């Protein structure tokens, strides 16, 4: 059966962030993920993980000024130094929290910058991050994002992600495949996952339209969960969706599907 990690940025946000670990454990989750840990000291988060016996399966590299609308800085030529400093900060957190995978949001395409220069910047930054993370036993992921929700996001498709990975020449860069984002951009979910299974190391979910829980939209999640089992996907599935009402009431899809949250 698939194993599910609660995304604490989007789930259980009826409570303050540090209280969401308890709520996730009470709901039966044994894994959690979130966008960023950097607003909290790593010891605070480690204490919550230990207290509630949770695995932190993923968080992101620093992504610039999130509140101001930035969604990553890896594609910004003038921010290379900041990106590289962020890789170091992420490694410190990941090692303290037992995280084995870090995701890089590459950011919105900068205006008035040559396309080749943008691509070169992304590839160079990913290569740097992959090398630094590999030395610490941590895997680097990159995530295609739909351009309806984030207009101008530089990385918006599976093929583009694979091309960028190939360009790095690294064996330590993989795809984070978000079913919701790729339903909006590409469709053909099952075949794409199967074809690229060896290069997909984390999956996230939400239904479409609305980015709510499975069962609220058009995506056939019971089929996809069975399919992921059949093709041998053994990683976590991050529940990165917006509950249509509240988090606990919205978890009925797990019980209805006969699936488990725990590893």
Q: Which residues pair with 105 in a beta bridge?
A: none
Sequence-ordered alpha helix ranges (H) in 35-79: 42-51
The one-character DSSP state at 243 is -
> What is the reported pLDDT for 263?
40
> What is the reported pLDDT for 1?
73
> What is the reported pLDDT for 170?
98
Q: Among candidates 57, 44, 49, 1, which has minimal Cα distance to 25?
A: 49
Of the listed 70, 89, 186, 240, which one is catalytic?
240
CATH number of the domain enclosing 154: 3.20.20.150
pLDDT in tens, the chain (263 residues): 789 999 999 999 999 999 999 999 999 999 999 999 999 999 999 999 999 999 999 999 999 999 999 999 999 999 999 999 999 999 999 999 999 999 999 999 999 999 999 999 999 999 999 999 999 999 999 999 999 999 999 999 999 999 999 999 999 999 999 999 999 999 999 999 999 999 999 999 999 999 999 999 999 999 999 999 999 999 999 999 999 999 999 999 987 655 554 44
> What is the reported pLDDT for 261?
47
> What is the reported pLDDT for 254?
83
Number of domains in the chain: 1
Q: Which domain holds residue 56?
A: 3-259
CA 40 to centroid of chain Cα atoms? 19
Global pTM value: 0.96
Q: HSE (CB half, 13 Å, CA atoms) of 211? A: 14
Q: Could you confirm whether 194 is annotated as catalytic?
A: no
What are the backbone dihedrals phi and psi of residue 28, each rounded to the nearest 5 degrees, phi first?
A: 105, 0
Residues in the chain: 263
Q: Could you confirm whether 67 is annotated as catalytic?
A: no
> What is the reported pLDDT for 120?
98
Of the listed 14, 136, 143, 186, which one is catalytic?
143
Find out whether 82 and 54 touch, Cβ atoms under 8 Å: no
> What is the reported pLDDT for 262?
42
> What is the reported pLDDT for 258?
54
> What is the reported pLDDT for 179?
98
């Amino acid at each position: 059966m698939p194993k599910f990690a609660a995304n604490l940025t989007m789930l259980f946000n009826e409570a303050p962030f540090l209280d969401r670990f308890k709520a996730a454990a009470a709901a039966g989750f044994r894994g959690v993920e979130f966008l960023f840990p950097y607003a909290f000291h790593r010891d605070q988060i480690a204490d919550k993980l230990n207290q509630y016996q949770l695995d932190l399966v993923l968080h992101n590299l620093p992504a610039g000024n999130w509140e101001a609308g930035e969604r990553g800085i890896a594609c910004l030529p003038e921010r290379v130094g900041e990106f590289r400093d962020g890789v170091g900060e992420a490694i410190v957190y990941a090692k303290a929290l037992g995280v084995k995978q870090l995701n890089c949001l590459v950011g919105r395409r900068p205006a008035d910058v040559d396309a080749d220069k943008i691509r070169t910047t992304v590839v160079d930054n990913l290569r740097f991050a992959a090398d630094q993370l590999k030395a610490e036993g941590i895997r680097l992921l990159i995530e295609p994002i739909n351009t309806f929700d984030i207009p101008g996001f530089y990385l918006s498709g599976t093929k583009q992600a694979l091309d960028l990975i190939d360009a790095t020449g690294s064996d330590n860069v993989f795809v984070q495949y978000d079913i919701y984002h790729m339903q909006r951009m590409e469709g053909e979910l099952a075949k794409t996952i199967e074809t690229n299974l060896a290069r997909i190391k984390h999956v996230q979910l939400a239904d479409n339209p609305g980015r709510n829980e499975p069962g609220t939209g058009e995506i056939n999640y019971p089929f996809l969960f069975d399919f992921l089992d059949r093709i041998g996907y053994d990683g976590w599935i991050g529940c990165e969706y917006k509950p249509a009402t509240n988090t606990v009431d919205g978890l009925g899809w797990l019980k209805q599907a006969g699936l488990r949250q725990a590893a």
